[in-house]
Amino acid sequence: MCGIAGILRVYPPGPPPPGPDVSIPQSWIDPLDEHIKHRGPDGFGVYRDRALRSDGATVDVALIHRRLAIIDPAHGHQPMVSQDGRVAVVFTGCIYNHAELRRELEQQGCVFQSDHSDTEVLVHGWRAWGPKLFEVLEGMYACVIWDRESANWFHSRDSRGEKPMYRLTAATCDAHALRWTRYDVSSELQVIASSAAACYALAAEKRGSIGSNDGDTLVTSAKIAARDWFRVGAGGPELSEHLTLQPISDHDMGHHRSAGGCSLNDSVTTQ
């Protein structure tokens, strides 16, 4: 079905971060889109945002979507954003009980813009129920939800694990503090390989710069197990009670891996 990908970059309180287009440059977004475009001939979209978290951190986000239109082709464009701009969703799969959930949400006062889009059910469902939304969903799906009010993002898979979801974390720190953290998620393993290569390239570039002292870059990757959700917010990464992150080995990456000989669970010194 559809292809989804996302990048979250977090800067802790301190010196002002670079502008959003520098923090998540187009040169990071384009390879992600390239690796998912075969999933969606019917539509393409990118959503970008920046928000200030309650702990003073600055958070940049980019969500990418390639659509294969099946349910409500006329009104299901993604990334889908709530009318007030608070919630943005990218989603692949099908929510089997979306009509039932829509009726329940309408009874609570939610006003839908689409005729029968299951993606819009995720938007309103998140506003109404938060993470409990994942407890009532029935279907095969993988999704990423950005909530700018709390500057959190959540990603989740269906209970049977029919739709894959991969994640990557890259963090740069020096002897004194964390400089930044980057989180990537996607329904495609190729995206994670591409993101890992970009992180290593950035580390190598910094390492080669005269007078550079950006510290160490640590890159780790994993596959999210079925039934699970994962959140990155003010308290740091938070996992559902039964979350299992399955590490992705170099062998598993196979021909998808293009990180110049670096392991996906490795560090690169840039000083």
Q: Catalytic positions, please?
A: 2
User: In 10 A of CB 240, how many CB atoms?
Assistant: 18
- In the block, which residue shows the tokens 């003010």? 234
Distances (CA, A) of 175 to 67, 99, 167, 218: 44, 53, 26, 14
The residues, ordered by sequence, that sit 6+ positions from 63 with a Cβ below 8 Å of its Cβ are 4, 5, 6, 46, 47, 48, 79, 88, 90, 144, 146
The residues, ordered by sequence, that sit 6+ positions from 153 with a Cβ below 8 Å of its Cβ are 6, 8, 61, 144, 145, 146, 147, 183, 231, 232, 233
Query: What span, in angstroms and rounded, lies between the C-alpha atoms of 230 and 239?
Result: 5
